[in-house]
Amino acid sequence: MTEPESTLPHVTLNFAMSLDGKISTAARGRFRFTSGRDRRVMDEIRARSDAVLIGGATLRAEDPPLQVRDARLREGRILAGHDEKLINIVLSASLNLPLGGRFFTTPGIRRIVATVEDARAELLASVKGLAEIVRLGQGRVPIPELLKRLSERGISRLLVEGGGEVNASFFEAGCVDEIYVTVAPIVIGGRSAPTPAGGEGFLAGGTAAFELVSCRSEENEIFIHYRRRSVAAGS
Ligand SMILES: NC(=O)c1ccc[n+]([C@@H]2O[C@H](COP(=O)([O-])OP(=O)(O)OC[C@H]3O[C@@H](n4cnc5c(N)ncnc54)[C@H](OP(=O)(O)O)[C@@H]3O)[C@@H](O)[C@H]2O)c1
Question: Which residue out of 165, 179, 192, 223 has the highest number of ligand 1 atoms within 8 Å of its CB and is therefore the one to mutate?
Answer: 165
Nearest-CA residue for atom 27 of ligand 1: 166
- Quote the strand ranges of 19-146, DSSP E: 51-55, 87-91, 111-115, 132-135
Model pLDDT for residues 37-50, shown as the tens digit of each residue: 999 999 999 999 99
Ligand 1 pocket member 168 (CB < 6 A)? no
CA distance 192 to 208: 22
Model pLDDT for residues 105-114, shown as the tens digit of each residue: 999 999 999 9
Q: What is the pLDDT of residue 235?
A: 45
Atom of ligand 1 nearest to the CA of 182: 3
Ligand 1 pocket member 113 (CB < 6 A)? no
Ligand 1 centroid–CA 140 distance in Å is 13
Query: Under a CB-based contact definition with an 8 Å cutoff, are residues 160 and 166 in contact?
Result: yes
Amino acid making up residue 36: G
Ligand 1 centroid–CA 93 distance in Å is 11
Ligand 1 centroid–CA 200 distance in Å is 14
Thinking of the domain 10-234, which architecture would CATH place it in? 3-Layer(aba) Sandwich (3.40)
- Spacing of C-alpha 218 from chain mean position: 24
**What average pLDDT does the structure give for the chain?**
94
- CB proximity list for 66: less than 8 A, separation 6 or greater: 46, 52, 54, 86, 88, 103, 161
What is the residue extent of each domain of the chain?
Answer: 10-234
